[in-house]
Structure 1
Amino acid sequence: MRKIVAVMALFAVNLMSVRGQDYQVKNIPSHLKQEATVVVRKDSRQILINAPDNMVYKFKKAITVFDKNGREYVNFKIPYNKSRKIKSLNVNVYNEWGILVGKVKQSDFKDESYISNYSLFEDDRVKIYTPFIETFPVTFELECEVAMNQTLIIPDWFPQPDEEVSVQQSTLEISKPTTFQINYTGYGLDDKPQIQTLGKREVLTWKLEDLAAFKQEPYSPLLNTRLPNLMFSPVHFVYEGVSGNYSNWQEYGKWVNNALLKGRDVISKETEASVKNLVKDVKDKKEIVRLIYQYAQKKNRYISVQIGIGGFMPMKASEVDNVSYGDCKALCNYTMALLKAAGITAYYTEVYAGGRKVSLHQSFASGGQGNHIILYVPLDTEAIWLECTSKDSPVGYLGSFTQDRNVLVIKEDGGHIYKTPAYTWKDNLQIRSANITLDLGGNIVGKIETKFAGIQSENRGDIEVLSPVGKETYLKKIFPFPSLGVHTYQLDRNIGNTPNTREILKFASREYATVKGPYGQFDLNPLNVSTRQLPDTESRKNEVYINEGYTDVDSISYSLPKEFKVENLPISIVKSYPFGEYEFSAQLIGDNKILVHRKMVLKEGTYQKEVYKDLVELYKTAYRYDRSRCIVKRAN
């Protein structure tokens, strides 16, 4: 009997070792499964600061994935370089019943150069594991330890990365000498950690449990203003062997200027002479900036290395001059050096770039908030912002990538928070006019002229690099006329701080109108058809946030054969709200001309959650009226 008990006990121990943690899916509380694509079962993070130049980051994170929509959360990428070394890395895989079914060692990860074929960046590499998942649900447990010889960047804590993610348990622990001071700020949780002092060290612990996923709501504010998170910054630190300290943006910016930028803007005498020769007869400073900016655009290629991956220090301007490529830091530093040679002062500027407008924290300074560099050039009567990674952006245009957000302009006296120019609904225009002639067989010929301005000038950004065949395919996609025949196509760009583009298409289309017997019918609005339908929400939780505004105006003139008589047209509609408006009308002029007018405006900004029902109604109206049709009858 004792032998049986011993065998049973041994079996239980072995089963526990196979299962490891309790990752059985049935043990996830039901309320955490609702609305969730994945559940973070356990997220344990440790930051061990041993000295200003010695920090170890350990994390163990188990994620249960319910379906294919959650795959992105288990595509693991761990960057490393000479300053950031991976000490250990592995993944365990558990099935629905919590049984270990697979192990992934560090040697099983793909090891790739972060930027291949560019010798100056070969030290920046990344470990990648992208699992092939056949059966759901499945749990992945990632365990990693990274050693860093710097403390400038202390990892942020974002325990719930998205709305569709539930969290059972997440813990952050920072162990540091009592003499090593850090500042922190956050949202959605108690900033004050549990603090335990152990001799000359102290441990700060934050813990969150039972965070349920929730339904995604369209037009919601930024995640970092809604989900719990913490940012950290050191008071004293070491980066690349250089020590520093800061407690605000001015002090941080002064360190960047003195430690990372100073002395790296030197160019050769030959290049300096070339710059001076380029602008020797130019008096207008803005024109000097434009000529130098275009010179740098033509000369250099951009390679993508985010600030935290490729280091904070830019390549020397002389190196960029030799190799003609660089990341955002390098190209901005190089352009800054060229402008300096022409007597123009420009300032290196940190920004968080992306389609969503994320600002640097106004009152909390930390080195990890930016991911991109641009230039700020103050002139006598205006300021010019330069996006140095673009080959074709006009001088002074930032675009949707960096517009309308707080950035850090770094001057000799330190860092200063500025705001980049905003392109509003009044600036982002698409104004279109079309003249279309219909024949008795339902075929049409026409001319469409469209003017884009502001951010909407980016709408045709790709077409110029396409082959003739590719261009024709592209045009058939954006102008979905049946059997589209392109007679001529013209695209003209006008350079300016707010660029604009003019597009002219002359075309023909067979059987645009459906003609059966004496009757025919056709779409009144083939050019700008709204496809968006917002879900109705009885109890919305978030404010309505419109990230980017625009104005679209379409005017279409139809000339009909004199044999056709218009049988019906839709009634006119106007919907107007504080956040936007929609108009549609179709007017018969004489016997054989129809004028169609459509206008859609969406105004950027944050609005009370109660207006969401009006936003739903606006899109419903646009969806319905954009599909309006005209019925004609042929006279006997």
Structure 2
Amino acid sequence: MKRKLYTLLLLTFGLLAVQAEAQHKIDLVKGANAIVKLEETVFTVNSAGSGTTRIKTIITILNESGKEHARLQVAHDRLNKVDYIKGTSYDLAGKKIKSLKSSEIKDVSAGAGDNEILDTRVKYADMAHTVYPYTVEYEYQTTSSNMMFYPVWVPLASSKLSVEKATFQVLMPKGMKLRYRETNLQEKVKQSATATHDVYSWEVQNLTPLDTEPYGPFMAEVIPMVRTAPADFEVEGYRGSMESWQKYGHFINQLNAGRDVLPEATKQKLQALTADTKDPLAKIDKVYNYLQSNTRYVSIQLGLGGWQPLEAGFVASKGYGDCKALTNYTQAMLKEVGVPSFQALIRGGENEPAIMTDFPSSQFNHVVLCVPLQQDTLWLECTSQNESAGFSGSFTGSRKALLITPEGGKLVNTPSYTAADNTEHRTVKVKLDENGNGTANVISRYTGEEHETYRDLIHHYAAEEQRKWLYSNIKVPAFEVKKFAFDLKKGRQPEVTEKLELSLRQCATLSGKRMFLTPNLMNKWTTVPNTVEKRKWEVVRNSAYTNVDTVVYEMPVGYTLEFKPNDTEYKTAFGTYKATTKVDGQQVTYIRSLQMNKGRFSPDTYAKMIEFMNNMLKADAQQVVFVKNIP
């Protein structure tokens, strides 16, 4: 009896295991364009200055949308070599389609623009097939002599991808320390050892495609990931440590040492330029203007030059440099006129994820200059010929930067831009005729981050291109641009004033004896994200701004008000909206203000944000109705 019961239990557990495995396979396919059957990543540190990475991937391409995963790209440069690349493809039955030939591996420059000088290249292979599904297997190995960077393991690297199994191993020589940071893992690290190395191992299984959510956090916050970094490292004879931000700053000081020497001719120009100037802020303005007038940005990434600036003398003689070189040059010039400053490493870019402050490592892609003043601190973007001194904006504002001081690295905050800083104030005067057509005179003033698009429009586009841009971006149903003009006022809070003269067609619509007018002419809320049942992640808003529109209409003679919408106001954690409409004889005055806040909100507030946006959408579409007087 016991043996029969035991056999029955075995059969039951076996059936459950088979069912679970079948369900896993169904889940992996659902919503996926490709499945990683197996990925093995092995990073072996040979010394503080050398390491190898071997990656083997077996991935099944399910459909046309997944064929990007049949391609392989491996970057290499003077400090990172590709040892080998192998590839094989198989059909649905497991029969080999082809093996990758050396002649099929392309080697192309990674440069994409005329203002780039770099030694980074990409080995590129493509084993796409035309009959789905099919499987591609790649294996390759690289050797690096730049040990500033250890691998970041991201097994679920894109949406519409699932992972059956992926492993990551790091082999550290005995006595060398590995620093790592784990996020969103099924299991934590497992440690073992060989005679020569300490071994750190991670594994994930059965990862289904990531379901993205509107206004969700950055992907890096929600996917499984292991970041690794050295404690001590070496690159081209320079030794450093990343055990703290301070120590990492000492390494950057090594790279910068002695590279701030200016030519005598440049020194004389700077002394003459500031001879009558005592105020440090005025000196900064003159030096910054000199920089913008005499240099241009060129990305130069050659070997260690990706992190070490070119000498100040090179920039002075050639008139160009990358962010490191131009920042170093500006620092040297300010030093010459008696103004101290500090370089700062930063992760530049609009809507970039924040750096991990608790994990000192090379997380930066840009360098700016920080100038402490007695009452304040001035930040300079040294790569732009057009930016205002002291304005960080969406590219480098509102984030952490690593200040490089003589005492080492120190994390600091760059200027933060709030809804009160990023504004659009617009005044519109419209005169309508009896057919609902009209003319509009528009004056809009943009400040802070709101001015950036218009600043770039002024500097990078000719008049005719500006006109085309206006036709594409003015949010009026039918119009003609009769005149336009832009005026840029630089400053720590720069602004652009835009003046437009528009001819409007059917600004108001006629139906019988009635005229229907939508008073919100140019700034309607138009989009509302989809509803998400059982939202998983926080609601994240990365921008803050204030819009105020005042629109005054002169209605044609002979019409009397029949209906006016009630004044509207909505106050939420996400923002505040208010709209008022007043009618005085033939004059309609519409005032709309919207302040949107940035921040992180709990998942259960998402429905309230949708409600807020729907309310704005409806309010912006409300109409004033006039009826024609009939004698």
| Superposition TM-score, scaled by structure 2 size | 0.89
Equivalent-residue separation in structure 2 for 1:458 and 1:403 (angstroms): 13
Corresponding residue of 1:349:
344
Aligned counterparts, 1:435-584, within 5 A: 435-464=429-458, 465-481=460-476, 484-584=479-579
Q: Distance in 1 between matches of 2:277 and 2:86?
A: 60
- Which residue in the other structure is 2:332 paired with? 337
Distance in 2, matches of 1:94 and 1:393, equals 54
Counterpart of 2:184 in structure 1 is 188
1:587-626 to 2 correspondences below 5 Å: 587-590=582-585, 592-626=586-620
How far residue 515 of structure 1 moved from its aligned partner, in angstroms, is 3.1
Taking the TM superposition and a 5 Å limit, the aligned residue runs for 1:171-570 are 171-189=167-185, 192-258=188-254, 260-304=255-299, 311-367=306-362, 369-464=363-458, 465-481=460-476, 484-570=479-565
CA apart distance, 1:304: 4.1
1:124 and 2:125 are equivalent in the alignment:
no
Contact kept, 8 Å, 1:581 with 1:618, in 2: the verdict is no
Q: CA deviation at 1:161?
A: 2.9
Residue number in structure 1 paired with 2:7: none
Q: Residue deviations 1:537-588, cap 9 Å, x none?
A: 2311111111111111211111101112233333332221122122233332
CA contact (8 A) 1:36 1:214 kept: no
Q: Which moved more, 1:275-284 or 1:71-80?
A: 71-80
Structure 1 counterpart SS, 2:624: strand
Q: Which amino acid aligns with 2:282?
A: E
The answer to whether the 8 Å contact 1:427/1:550 transfers is yes
Q: Which residue is 2:56 aligned to?
A: 60
Cα pair distance change 1:428/1:311, threshold 3 Å: same
> How far 1:364 sits from its partner (Å)?
2.1
Letter in 2 for 1:180: M
Query: Paired residue for 1:629?
Result: 623
**Inter-partner Cα distance in structure 1 for 2:435 and 2:579:** 27
Return 5+ residue gaps in structure 2 as ranges: 1-21
CA deviation profile, 1:183-220 (whole Å, cap 9, x unmatched): 11222237852222211222211111112223211122
- Which stretch has the larger CA shift, 186-195 or 211-220? 186-195
1:58, 1:146 within 8 Å by CA — same for their partners in 2?
A: yes
CA contact (8 A) 2:402 2:411 kept: yes
Label 1:410 to 1:626 Cα distance change in 2 as closer, same or farther (>3 A): same
Secondary structure of 1:253 counterpart: helix
Deviation per CA, 1:89-139: give whole Å up to 9, x if none: 344445555554455545434433334787993433233457877665555
The 8 Å contact of residues 32 and 166 in structure 1, kept in 2 or not, is answered as: yes
Distance 1:309 1:632 in 2: 71
**How many Å apart are 1:527 and its aligned residue?**
0.5
In structure 2, what is the equivalent of residue 14 of structure 1?
none
Alpha-carbon distance in 2 for matches of 1:289, 1:451: 27
Query: 1:412: Cα distance to partner?
Result: 1.2
Paired residue for 2:26, among 26, 30, 49? 30
Range moving further from structure 2, 486-495 or 200-209:
486-495
Q: Give the deviation of 1:509 after TM superposition.
A: 2.1
Contact 2:240/2:250, CA 8 A, preserved across alignment: no
Given the superposition, is the C-alpha separation of residues 555 and 547 from structure 1 closer, same or farther in structure 2, using an over 3 Å criterion?
same
User: Is residue 308–residue 371 contact of structure 1 (8 Å, CA) maintained in 2?
Assistant: no
Deviations 1:44-76 (A, max 9, x none): 111111122221111123444555655666664
User: CA 1:103–1:618 in structure 2 vs 1: closer, same or farther (change >3 Å)?
Assistant: farther
Deviation at 1:83, TM superposition (A): 0.8
Aligned positions of 1:23-172 closer than 5 A = 29-66=25-62, 70=66, 76-95=72-91, 99-105=95-101, 107-115=103-111, 121-129=117-125, 137=133, 139-162=135-158, 164-172=160-168
| Partner secondary structure for residue 493 of structure 1 | strand
Q: CA deviation at 1:181?
A: 1.5
> Aligned with 1:256: secondary structure?
helix
- Hey, what does 1:15 align to over in structure 2? none
- Percent identity between the two aligned chains: 28
Q: Please tell me whether the aligned partners of residues 56 and 147 of structure 1 are also in contact (alpha carbons under 8 angstroms).
A: yes
- Tell me the CA shift for residue 530 of structure 1: 1.8
**Offset, 1:355:** 1.9
How far off is 1:176 after superposition?
2.4
How many residues are matched? 608
Supply the RMSD in Å over aligned alpha carbons.
2.7
Residues of 2 paired with 1:141 and 1:326: CA distance?
42
Partner of 1:10: none
1:321 offset after TM fit, Å?
2.3
Deviations 1:17-66 (A, max 9, x none): xxxxxxxxx99711123344443332211111112222111112344455
Please report how far the alpha carbon of residue 178 of structure 1 lies from its aligned counterpart in structure 2 after TM superposition.
0.9
2:127–2:136 contact (8 Å) kept in structure 1 = no
Q: Which amino acid aligns with 2:51?
A: M
**Structure 1, gaps ≥5 residues long:** 1-25
Contact 2:539–2:605, Cα closer than 8 Å, also in 1? yes
SS at match of 2:482: strand
Q: Give the SS at the match of 1:461.
A: helix
Distance 2:268 2:202 in 1: 58
Q: CA deviation at 1:495?
A: 1.5
Preserved CA contact (<8 Å) 1:248 1:363: no
Q: 1:624 to 1:93 in 2, by over 3 A?
A: farther
TM-superposed deviation, 1:140: 4.3
State the Cα deviation string for residues 421-451 of structure 1 (Å, max 9, x = none). 1101221111111111100122111111111
Aligned to 2:525, the other structure's residue is in SS state coil
Shift of 1:318: 1.8
| Residues 395 and 108 of structure 1: CA distance in aligned 2, closer, same or farther (over 3 Å) | farther
AA matched with 1:384: L
- 1:122–1:356: structure 2 CA closer, same or farther, 3 Å change rule? closer
Secondary structure of the structure 2 residue equivalent to 1:29? helix
Q: Distance in 2 between matches of 1:116 and 1:477?
A: 27
Please identify, of 29-38 and 328-337, the stretch whose mean Cα deviation from structure 2 is larger: 29-38
